[in-house]
């Protein structure tokens, strides 16, 4: 008997995290740089608001109108846009927003283009939902991002395009002109854009642009997981065109009922704690600088030029042809947990690793020491 989701690939970061946690249970130290989440939790004031809500607010199915208004206001503050709160569809994380968008926009069997390397859940959710991922091979010559020229030559054109800026795992961003060009070619060819903007707010020196600035018919997805440090609270949203609001709400109610009530209370409070959150962003920038300065001295010279998020994607093909085995060996020998590039690129990923630098600066310094010592021992043996 065939299984509909048989083409869904493993999530290797989860495997490495499991091995790291097993090491912790044995009482051995671990530095967690394998996962896609900040090590800091939700802002202190937001947690306090959660305690109050848990004690004093009903916890049934609920959707916060105040939260939707506050999210809509972000698009005015960051991008000079003015969407209505009704265009904000609250969801079970950005993952829930992606599922809603794919279910609503595309018929089974439709092709949806997306970059490779890229976030593995994008292609795997496409497969699980009976859609066909059409991967675009993106390398250093385009800063690991798709271009309008790539979309222009696709024949026939795909039904959709998924973009991520800043990206996971590279941290590279699409500039204003590139977003405009992608919007124009997709509009001309009838390609619906889904823009994953989960890492907006976490950038190095310049702000990110939203695809909604250039293509109002796009669906933008975002999350409280990364900038607001609320990964485990599972709360996100989709910003949708007015003509999709009613249908998206119907899909959401049937598929998920409502997002977590307590998480909505916490998120609304977190949005007022920008000073604490910006301290985390400053730490990420410092950690990135430390890694970029140190890794060439350890022999790791080729890295994607990170503009945002909190990842460094590095070429280790001169050290291994199997970065998953390499990461397992490193973890067992040192307690440093990194992720294989196989999660993000099924073709070339065994030559790459991803490091999350959303940890403390002392942990980054210790990680550099551990990696350097292990590489030296490895080369001497």
What percent of the chain is modeled with pLDDT above 70?
A: 98
Going by DSSP bridges, is the β-strand pair 160-164/192-196 parallel, antiparallel, or unpaired?
Answer: parallel
Last residue of a domain, one of 270, 297, 332: 270
- Give Cβ neighbours of residue 55 (< 8 Å, ≥ 6 apart): none
Can you tell me the distance from the alpha carbon of 227 to that of 235, in angstroms, rounded to the nearest whole number? 12
Mean pLDDT over 226-245 rounds to 97
Can you tell me the distance from the alpha carbon of 361 to that of 367, in angstroms, rounded to the nearest whole number? 10
Last residue of a domain, one of 216, 238, 270: 270
CATH value at residue 290: 3.40.640.10
Instruction: With respect to residue 348, please indicate whether it lies within any of the assigned structural domains.
Output: yes
Instruction: With respect to residue 191, please indicate whether it lies within any of the assigned structural domains.
Output: yes
Instruction: With respect to residue 336, please indicate whether it lies within any of the assigned structural domains.
Output: yes
Q: Is the peptide bond before 117 cis (omega within 30 degrees of 0)?
A: yes
How does 24-50 read in b/e, with b if 16+ C-beta sit within 10 Å?
eeeeeebbbbbbbbbbeebbeebeebb
186, pLDDT greater than 90: yes
Average model confidence (pLDDT) across the chain = 95
Crossing angle (nearest 10°) for helices 44-56 and 261-270: 140
pLDDT at 381: 75
pLDDT at 5: 56
**Pair 221, 122 in one domain:** yes
**Pair 197, 218 in one domain:** yes
2, pLDDT greater than 90: no
**Pair 256, 311 in one domain:** no
**Pair 21, 36 in one domain:** yes
pLDDT at 1: 45
Domain encompassing residue 260:
44-270
**Pair 174, 286 in one domain:** no
Instruction: With respect to residue 1, please indicate whether it lies within any of the assigned structural domains.
Output: no
pLDDT at 205: 80
Q: Where are the alpha helices (DSSP H) in the chain?
A: 12-25, 44-56, 65-79, 93-105, 120-128, 148-152, 176-189, 245-256, 261-270, 274-294, 323-334, 361-380
Determine contact, residues 120/113, Cβ cutoff 8 Å. no
Mean pLDDT over 117-137 rounds to 96
**Pair 210, 342 in one domain:** no
Last residue of a domain, one of 270, 289, 309: 270
pLDDT tens figures, 13-23? 999 999 999 99
Can you tell me the distance from the alpha carbon of 21 to that of 13, in angstroms, rounded to the nearest whole number? 12
pLDDT tens figures, 40-70? 999 999 999 999 999 988 899 999 999 999 9
Residue 264, CA atoms < 13 Å, CB-side half-sphere: 24
Closest by CA position to 157, among listed 131, 186, 182: 186
104, pLDDT greater than 50: yes
- Give Cβ neighbours of residue 232 (< 8 Å, ≥ 6 apart): none
pLDDT tens figures, 334-362? 999 999 999 999 999 999 999 999 999 99
Instruction: With respect to residue 319, please indicate whether it lies within any of the assigned structural domains.
Output: yes
**Pair 170, 108 in one domain:** yes
Which pair of structure tokens corresponds to residue 269? 């409070």
Which pair of structure tokens corresponds to residue 27? 């009482």
Give the pLDDT band of residue 9 (cuts 50, 70, 90). confident
| Least-confidence region, from 40-44, 56-60, 73-77, 275-279 | 56-60
Which pair of structure tokens corresponds to residue 316? 């280790």
**Pair 304, 173 in one domain:** no
pLDDT at 6: 57
Which pair of structure tokens corresponds to residue 186? 């997709």
Give the pLDDT band of residue 228 (cuts 50, 70, 90). very high
CA pseudo-torsion sign 42, 46, 51, 53: negative
3, pLDDT greater than 60: no
206, pLDDT greater than 90: no
- Give Cβ neighbours of residue 27 (< 8 Å, ≥ 6 apart): none
**Pair 278, 262 in one domain:** no
Look at the chain and report how many structural domains it folds into: 2
pLDDT tens figures, 282-337? 999 999 999 999 999 999 999 999 999 999 999 999 999 999 999 999 999 999 99
**Pair 233, 360 in one domain:** no
Closest by CA position to 198, among listed 235, 232, 151: 235
């Amino acid at each position: 008997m065939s299984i509909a989701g048989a083409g869904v690939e493993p999530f290797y970061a989860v495997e490495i995290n499991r091995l790291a946690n097993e090491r912790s249970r044995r009482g051995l130290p671990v530095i967690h740089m394998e996962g896609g989440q900040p090590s800091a939790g939700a802002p202190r004031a937001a947690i306090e608001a959660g305690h109050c809500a848990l004690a004093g607010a009903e916890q049934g199915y609920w959707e916060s109108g105040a939260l939707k208004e506050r999210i809509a206001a972000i698009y005015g503050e960051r991008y000079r846009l003015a969407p209505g709160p009704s265009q904000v569809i609250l969801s079970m994380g950005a993952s829930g927003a992606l599922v809603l968008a794919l279910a609503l926009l595309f018929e089974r069997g439709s092709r949806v283009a997306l970059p490779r390397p890229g976030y593995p859940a994008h292609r795997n959710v496409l497969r699980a939902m009976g859609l066909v991922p059409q991967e675009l091979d993106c390398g250093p010559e385009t800063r690991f991002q798709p271009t309008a020229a790539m979309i222009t030559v696709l024949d026939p054109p795909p039904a959709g395009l998924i973009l991520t800026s800043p990206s996971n795992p590279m941290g590279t961003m699409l500039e204003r002109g590139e977003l405009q060009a992608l919007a124009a070619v997709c509009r001309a060819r009838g390609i619906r854009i889904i823009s994953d903007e989960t890492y907006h707010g976490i950038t190095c020196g310049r702000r990110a642009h939203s695809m909604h600035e250039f293509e109002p018919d796009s669906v933008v997805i975002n999350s409280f997981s990364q900038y607001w440090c609320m990964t485990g609270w599972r709360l996100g949203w989709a910003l949708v065109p007015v003509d999709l609001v009613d249908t998206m709400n119907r899909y959401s109610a049937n598929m998920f009922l409502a997002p977590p009530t307590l998480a909505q209370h916490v998120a609304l409070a977190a949005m007022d704690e920008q000073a604490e959150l910006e301290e985390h962003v400053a730490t990420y920038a410092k950690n990135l600088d430390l890694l970029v300065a140190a890794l060439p001295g350890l022999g790791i010279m080729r890295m994607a030029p990170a503009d945002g998020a909190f990842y460094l994607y590095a070429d280790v093909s001169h050290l291994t042809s199997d970065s998953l085995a390499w990461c397992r060996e490193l973890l067992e020998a040192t307690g440093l947990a990194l992720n294989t590039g196989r999660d993000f690129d099924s073709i070339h990923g065994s030559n790459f690793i991803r490091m999350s630098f959303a940890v403390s600066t002392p942990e980054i310094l210790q990680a550099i020491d551990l990696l350097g010592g292990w590489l030296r021992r490895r080369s001497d043996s």
